Amino acid sequence: MRRAVILQHLDREGPGFIADLCSARGLATDILRLDLGVRVPRTLDDGDLLVVMGGPMGVGELEDPRFPFLAPEVELLRAGLARQRPILGICLGAQLLAHAAGSRVYPNQRRDADGLLRPSPEVGFGEVRLLGLDAEPALAGLPARLPVLHWHGDTFALPVNAVRLAESDTCADQAFRLGFNAFGLQFHVETDAAMVRRWAEEDSAFATSALGAGGPAAIMAASEAAVARMRDPGMRLVDNILDAMTGTSQRR
C-alpha cells in the first residue's frame, strides 16, 4: 500500500487536513514524531510520498544537538530530489527542501525607513499572490490571492530551476515547485482554528516579537473566521499538489 510519510517536529504542528486528504486517496498515513525520538527513515519505498511539516527550529540549527533529526531530514530530502520522489514541505519543511536543493536559508528581512535591513518575521493571517495561475496545475481553480497563515522568521532563496508559485509583500518566495512533484510552501493552510489558537498561546513570544503585545490575542480572536476563509482554497491547493505528487486527479 502506498504511504504518505509525514515528518512532524512538534506536537502542535501536526499535518492537519493534509493527513485527511492523503487518507481519502487511499494512502496509509505514517506520522513520524521526530521530536519524540522516532528516527528519520534512511530511504522511502517506491510510491511513498514525503511530507515535511513545520517547527520553530531552523536550517541554522542543523548541528544543534537538541534537533538531531534535522541533518538526516536534509539527507533524505536530497536523496528524494535526486530520485524525483514526491515531496511536500510546509514552512520549516519548505526551508529544509530548499536547503537540500542547494539554496540559502536566512532570516527574512525588509528595509526600514533609513534603508537598513531589519529582521521581518511574518506572523498571522494574511494573503499570498499566486503566480502562473493559467500555467500551473497545482494552482488550478484558485483565486489570485490566497488566504493563508504565516508563521516564520526565516525564508529561502528560490532553488535553481525551481518555479516560484507565490509571493507576498513581506516575503518574495512563498511557494515553489521543483520538477513536477516536489513542492515547498512557506505558509500554512492546513491548520484548524484550535491549532492556531494553540500556536498563539504556546508560541506567544514569537508572535509578540512580530506583531507587538496584542498580537497573540488578535490572532486568537480572528482564528475562527480566518480559518473558515482559508479552508476551502487551502484544501484545493493541497489537493492539486497531491494530484501532481501522485500522478492522479481527484477533481471532477
Kindly name the residue from 99, 150, 152, 188 that is annotated as catalytic.
188
> Has 188 been annotated as catalytic?
yes
Only one residue has cell 520538477, namely 179
Determine the Cα–Cα distance for residues 210 and 125; give it in Å rounded to an integer.
12
What residues contact 184, with CB distance under 8 A and at least 6 apart? 88, 89, 93, 94, 95, 97, 98, 156, 175, 176, 178
Amino acid identity at 131: L
CB 55 within 8 A of CB 151: no
Kindly name the residue from 73, 91, 99, 171 that is annotated as catalytic.
91
Only one residue has cell 525520538, namely 37
Kindly name the residue from 13, 122, 127, 190 that is annotated as catalytic.
190
Cα 235 to chain centroid, rounded: 14
> Has 91 been annotated as catalytic?
yes
Residues that are catalytic: 91, 188, 190
